[in-house]
Chains A and B, each alone.
Chain A
């Protein structure tokens, strides 16, 4: 058997074999090995965090990752950005009839590796198969749970005028890596997706700077979307310096070629952090001390603005707005 067919989702022997041979083998932990429909676990006292995400990325495999690693890192990050320690994940698969089994195995192992890096386990899941043409290869939904240390309350509505804005590294890597695989764009690049679990970095940050206001990852819509979301959530304006925002030359080159703005391009292993101005340098040092934060930078500060605009001082010394993107970003000719 080399491809997935409808029997793999029908609850019978074939499905049982698939779960055992592919998922249980890759995810390998004692809770999953119990083989129940649900997973039971104890949680040390504290506030819990839960997050869920559906992953429908196309192409499924891209330089630096695949839909599996993306699903794990993405949900781990959503939990970790609240300051929580990610504990457990669930993974639901909707697989298209005819999907190559070897690809599913690759994805499962990719997820296992990602979970191991993060220190969390995938302890329960679900498998469904849909008819050929009704799915894009495979869709994955992950849910993650974690526990927040007492007293920590990171939230997007806590930013105050004067707070420093930091990014953990270069912007636009993931989006460019994925675009390079898309039909009709044909460009070759060494850029890898930055897809990574940020929970260990965040743990360091929270320990060193307990005054952190909030953390968020600039995924779809890029840094521009995240800054605008948070500006509105906290009711503040923002001002950043273009020359301070780190962008790899290859990402800048690809964006020039396609007429895209790196500020609008997705990241999957980066975060934006806000803290009181007096703690910014210390936070920067912590970020730079971690492999996932080595290119971190202070890029600007929040300010008083009831209209919540995000401004940028350009390299040329002028000022312009950074706005949300309208619709999906498409390459330009003009």
Chain B
């Protein structure tokens, strides 16, 4: 639950604890206190100003492929 939105990391502060992310062209400051090893270009889930989790691009692709597969099976 809880509204969390996928956002792209566009800036990381030198201490790595905070930065800025972008959603559809809107930029927001965010805390990385809950995540380690965030890199520029990562997509993270943002909730109340904190990044909760990284979005794994490989797993994301797998999910989309699965949609297509399940959908095809239905005919």
Do A's and B's CB atoms come within 8 Å in the complex? Answer: yes
Using a CB–CB cutoff of 8 Å, the interface residues on chain A facing chain B are: 186-191, 249-250, 252-254, 256-257, 259, 332-334
Q: A332 — which chain B residues lie within 8 A by C-beta?
A: 3
Please, how many angstroms separate the alpha-carbon atoms of A96 and B39 in the complex?
Answer: 49
Shortest CB distance B21–A (Å): 9
A70 to chain B, nearest CB (A): 22
State whether A250 touches B26 (Cβ < 8 A).
Answer: yes
**Across the interface, do A188 and B28 meet the contact criterion of CB distance under 8 Å?**
yes
For window 45-70 of B, CB contacts with A under 8 Å fall at: 46-48
Residues of B within 8 A of A256 (CB): 5, 23-24
Which residue of chain A is the closest to B2 with respect to CB atoms? A334
A334 vs B1: C-alpha distance when bound (angstroms) = 6
Residue in B3, B26, B47 whose CB lies within 8 Å of A187? B26
Given contacts A257-B46, A333-B47, A333-B48, contact A187 B27 (CB under 8 A): yes
Q: How far is the CA of A21 from the CA of B68 in the complex (A)?
A: 68
A249 x B29 contact (CB < 8 A): no
Contact (Cβ within 8 A) B23 A253: yes
Name the A residues within 8 Å of B29 (CB-CB): 186
Task: Report the minimal beta-carbon distance from B25 to chain A, rounded to whole angstroms.
Answer: 4
| Partner of B27 from A188, A249, A333 at Cβ < 8 Å | A188
Residues of A with C-beta under 8 A to B47? 333
**Cα–Cα, bound, A38→B61 (Å):** 69
B24 contacts A187, CB within 8 Å? Answer: no
A-side contacts of B23, CB under 8 Å: 253-254, 256-257
| Cα of A290 to Cα of B18 in the assembled complex, Å | 45
Q: For the complex, give the distance between the alpha carbons of A189 and B23 in Å.
A: 10
**Contacting residues, chain B, for A249 (C-beta < 8 A):** 24-25
Given A333-B47, A333-B48, the answer on whether A259 and B3 have CB atoms closer than 8 Å is yes
Residue contact B27 to A189, C-beta cutoff 8 Å:
yes
B30 to chain A, nearest CB (A): 10
Q: Tell me which residues from 1 to 52 in chain B have a Cβ below 8 Å from any Cβ of chain A.
A: 1-3, 5, 7, 23-29, 46-48
Q: Give Cα distance in the complex from A332 to B47, angstroms.
A: 10
Residue of B nearest to A258 (CB): B3
Shortest distance from the beta carbon of B8 to any chain A beta carbon, whole Å: 11
Residues of A within 8 A of B26 (CB): 187-189, 191, 250, 253-254, 257
Q: Which residues of A contact B3 (CB under 8 A)?
A: 259, 332-334
Which A residues are in CB contact (< 8 Å) with B7? 257
Closest 6 A/B residue pairs (Cβ): A253-B24, A250-B25, A253-B23, A188-B27, A253-B26, A249-B24
